[in-house]
Structure 1
């Protein structure tokens, strides 16, 4: 099940990134970040309510470690998304999102050091190959032209997404509920926290950005809906297995990303060396064998 959920999440995240890239042309970074969560919250609560109608169970205890992990994941994902949007403003869609995919390697290192994650040597090999493949596919011949600023922001975004994923998994494991319910609770609470924090910030500091989102309802809605489905897939998959495996397999997002970038965003993506495609396929096979 985690494989199906991860592939679905990667597909939806590619679309979410594409919509955010379009929105970032006219809306400030905080507004584009808010667009990711704005309508996703109600969808998450509807999904959670549907689960309880289908299979009633206990309510979770949200105080203690579980609540802290949820708050930390919410804040870290805001930071990660804001850095991703900054990447879109510096380089094209495929390169920006590709740099942030260092997330899988960072998640593996942090997971082993601080979260008790255990990876086999095949798992490590898959993570490393996937990371190399993403850089080859996303940047290609543009690697030599990347600025230090772009590299630092990309790695920062990847590290922030990695911490988000690790804390999401820890939050889910700390809720004493069956699989779909615990993932749904974390999803709904994280998105709601993010929405309230960003709305409060923009209402106090930059109401013009809220107005800019209001003027672009279709793109804002598309960003939120695709974000909800992507987060649903990620959160559910990470409740079932280790984060590095999910994120390494999730690098198939690059395939979807390149297609969207070329056919919908009309941005040229040069991939001269097919070794990148073979590496990412091999990385996915390795983590599936673990």
Structure 2
């Protein structure tokens, strides 16, 4: 079994809890504040993780050239927009459907990766990606297509596109460093999270200081969101340094399994027949990419 598989499953589990805490926080803090909560305390956690890696396995410190910095900046900004759009989804539809729509990133990443990032897939892998897309459609489209609000569709696809671009640029940045596993992913993680934190803090300090105060008044919620975000990112970034983004994100759709469990137990949202069919297709798609 490829090492990317357990890292992906770990990332999906951590991300499902991060989304749950973000969803709860979104009821008390605006979109920018919830987005910042994801990154605020993640930077020191990412730094500790990198230090521990060098403690157990010292390697050379890489050089960071201009293409690397620009790629990090692109990934950071893209993920900020992706997270903000997902928080907006929480307010448009219920929790599980919001996450389900954002999972369109797997298909988008597969297409963009094949055409623009030199990451082609095998036939079986493409089948797995398309089955995963069918699962997302089943779970997010609870009514007839014509009844699905256009704003919900555009927001969901926009979030998926931004997440897909983020992960593709993250993988590119990790490959640029030419470091051994898992140090390259850890460096990219620290750069991305630190950049996102600085950008959002600067924006809110200039435009919306009350939001920073609101986060300060909710230390537990912010810390939990940052903690699970950092743990999830460690899993995602490490998996994507080992395997193509489309493969990782398709298997990562098992996050919906965890999300629905949290949704049913924590938010008391009921699962329908489409949800159950969607779960079955997610499992089938995951099997395809694992075998591929």
State TM-score, norm by structure 2: 0.96
- After superposing on structure 2, the runs of 4+ consecutive aligned residues of structure 1 that deviate more than 6 Å are none
Q: CA deviation at 1:71?
A: 1.1
The equivalent of 2:172 in structure 1 is 170
Mapped to 2, the partners of 1:272 and 1:200 lie a distance apart of 43
Structure 1 alignment gaps of length 5 or more: none
Deviations 1:200-255 (A, max 9, x none): 10011100101111111111111100100110000000000000000000000111
The equivalent of 2:281 in structure 1 is 279
Q: Does 60-69 or 150-159 show the bigger shift?
A: 60-69
State whether residues 138 and 274 of structure 2, in contact with CA within 8 Å, keep that contact through their aligned partners in structure 1: no
Q: CA deviation at 1:269?
A: 3.1
Structure 2 alignment gaps of length 5 or more: none
The equivalent of 1:256 in structure 2 is 258
Q: CA deviation at 1:65?
A: 2.0
The equivalent of 1:113 in structure 2 is 115
Q: Alignment partner for residue 97 of structure 1, among 74, 94, 99?
A: 99
> Do the aligned partners of residues 122 and 256 (structure 1) sit closer, same or farther apart at CA in structure 2, a change above 3 Å counting?
same
Q: Alignment partner for residue 6 of structure 1, among 1, 4, 8?
A: 8
> Do the aligned partners of residues 238 and 273 (structure 1) sit closer, same or farther apart at CA in structure 2, a change above 3 Å counting?
closer
Give the alignment of 1:1-290 within 5 angstroms.
Answer: 1-141=3-143, 145-272=147-274, 274-290=276-292
State whether residues 105 and 163 of structure 2, in contact with CA within 8 Å, keep that contact through their aligned partners in structure 1: yes
Mapped to 2, the partners of 1:68 and 1:79 lie a distance apart of 17
Q: CA deviation at 1:270?
A: 2.3
State whether residues 13 and 232 of structure 2, in contact with CA within 8 Å, keep that contact through their aligned partners in structure 1: yes
Q: CA deviation at 1:275?
A: 2.8
Mapped to 2, the partners of 1:175 and 1:273 lie a distance apart of 41
Mapped to 2, the partners of 1:222 and 1:58 lie a distance apart of 33
Mapped to 2, the partners of 1:266 and 1:285 lie a distance apart of 29
Deviations 1:66-91 (A, max 9, x none): 22211110110001000000101111
Q: CA deviation at 1:276?
A: 2.0
Give the 3-state SS of the residue equivalent to 1:267 in structure 2. Answer: coil
For this pair of structures, how many residues does the alignment match?
290
State whether residues 141 and 270 of structure 1, in contact with CA within 8 Å, keep that contact through their aligned partners in structure 2: no
Mapped to 2, the partners of 1:146 and 1:13 lie a distance apart of 26
> Do the aligned partners of residues 39 and 173 (structure 1) sit closer, same or farther apart at CA in structure 2, a change above 3 Å counting?
same
State TM-score, norm by structure 1: 0.97
Give the 3-state SS of the residue equivalent to 1:140 in structure 2. Answer: coil
